[in-house]
Each structure stands twice: as structure tokens, then as C-alpha cells.
Amino acid sequence: MSPATPIITLGEPLIELSVIDSTNMYAMEQIHAQKALSGSVYQTDFQTSGKGQHGRVWESQKGENLLCTYILELKTIKPGVKWGPNDQIGFSAAVALGAQSFFGQWAGEDTKIKKPNDIYWRDRKAGGILIENILRGTEWNWTLIGIGFNINQTQFSIDAGNPVSLKQITGKEWEIKTMQKKLAASLSEALNLWLEQGADDTIKKMETQLINIKSL
């Protein structure tokens, strides 16, 4: 159960973008230009240079998947608390749990986490997370949570590995904007639990949800 008064709320305001290079890159530019509001989500129909872990490209057909970046300014969480690099481990675990919870609402218990930040359904990749952080010295100032989920896409390239979409699993078409709101709610709940329960408990919980398969 999340805290009675949530401290972290992601997903508002929503900034909708038709075509951009990547939501993380756009969000980073907005932060550096001091135009960003903590809690915002940048969502796009298509990325020309979608970013994945270790520099990989995220493949997605236009308008068929959930592609977004949530941003959070750490000083807005608890005034006076200084957040550092060590806090990022528990935070990352909470994000993974939130993403897993989101997809698992419809895909079921076969939804698992593959380190470092992939969401799998059985042995197939359903989504990916790319967290990027902004530090000033040793103080953690901003975080960007880039997430891509295969929602309605059913045709993938040969080089895409072993992907799966929610439509392939359920046989249903999903409304992307609604899914973004549900993802925001799942992430917010998981992050508030991280604040309430601490990093150790969050990491232990994540470890119970891991899947051990080779990268594709």
C-alpha cells in the first residue's frame, strides 16, 4: 500500500509530441533550458533516434506503442534532503517494479524484470527503461525515466530480437494515451513505496521478480 499522501506524482503536465529524435533527449534539452516542470511526461508517436540501454536503438512503428519520458526534480520530493548517486539504486529498482506492475495488469504473472531495466513477458521483451540522471557535483538534481512499451505493434523487423506486444498477448487494441496515464500511476505508486519502505526493501522485492535469460 502506498503512503496516504503521495509525495511523488508523475504524468502531469502531459506534453504530446508527434515526431522527435527521442523523448529523453527532448526532455534533457528542456531541463537544461530551464523550461521543464517536475512530474511532466513527454510522449511521442514516433522517435527517429529512440534510445535504449547501452546505446541500442528502440524500434517502434508510428503511433502503435507507448513512448514517453517522465522527469522528476529531486529537491521537490523532500525539501532539505540532498539526494546522491547511492540513492539511484533503490530508485531504479522502484521504477522497474512500477513498469512491471503496469504491464502485468493485463499480461499477468508471466511479466518479469530482466536486469538492468527490461520488462519481459515469458522469454520475450515487452518494454525497456532508460534512466538518465543529472548531478551537480555529488548532488542528484534531476532524473529522466524513459520508457518504451510494445502496445499495439504486431510486426517487427528481423533485427528486433524477440519482442512481444500487449496486443499480441491479449488480442486487443489499446488506447495509448490511456495506457500512459496508467503507467504514470504505477510508477508513482512504486516510487512512493520506495520512499516509505526504503531502498533495501525495494531492491529485495525487485530481486524476487527477476527473470534470468540471455540478451537477444
Query: pLDDT at position 54, please?
Result: 43
CA-based nearest residue to 87, from 204, 203, 4 = 203
In Å, what is the CA distance from 210 to each residue of 2, 4, 131, 133, 170? 22, 29, 18, 24, 22
- Identity of the amino acid at 97: L
Dihedral Cα 204, 55, 100, 114, nearest 10 deg:
-50
Instruction: Place 58 in a pLDDT band, splitting at 50, 70 and 90.
Output: low
Query: What percentage of the chain carries pLDDT values higher than 70?
Result: 89
pLDDT of 159 higher than 80: no
* Spatial distance between the Cα atoms of 149 and 163, rounded to a whole number of angstroms: 10
CA 129 to chain CA mean position, Å: 5
* pLDDT tens per residue, range 69-96: 999 999 999 888 999 999 999 999 999 9
* pLDDT tens per residue, range 89-138: 999 999 999 999 999 999 999 999 999 889 999 999 999 999 999 999 99
Q: Is 7 contained in some domain?
A: no
Q: What value does the mean pLDDT of the chain take?
A: 91
Q: Is 149 contained in some domain?
A: yes
Q: Is 8 contained in some domain?
A: no
The residue-averaged pLDDT of 195-216 equals 89
pLDDT of 172 higher than 60: yes
* Spatial distance between the Cα atoms of 31 and 53, rounded to a whole number of angstroms: 21
Query: pLDDT at position 213, please?
Result: 75
Q: Is 168 contained in some domain?
A: yes
Total number of domains in the chain: 1
The residue-averaged pLDDT of 172-194 equals 97
Region for residue 88 given its phi and psi (left: phi exceeds 0; alpha: psi -120 to 50; beta: otherwise): alpha
Q: What is the pTM of this model?
A: 0.92
Q: Note down the domain range covering 150.
A: 14-207
CATH number of the domain within which 62 lies = 3.30.930.10
Q: Is 21 contained in some domain?
A: yes
Q: Is 4 contained in some domain?
A: no
Q: Is 203 contained in some domain?
A: yes
Query: pLDDT at position 93, please?
Result: 98
Query: pLDDT at position 61, please?
Result: 65
Query: pLDDT at position 55, please?
Result: 47
Q: Is 215 contained in some domain?
A: no
Query: pLDDT at position 51, please?
Result: 53
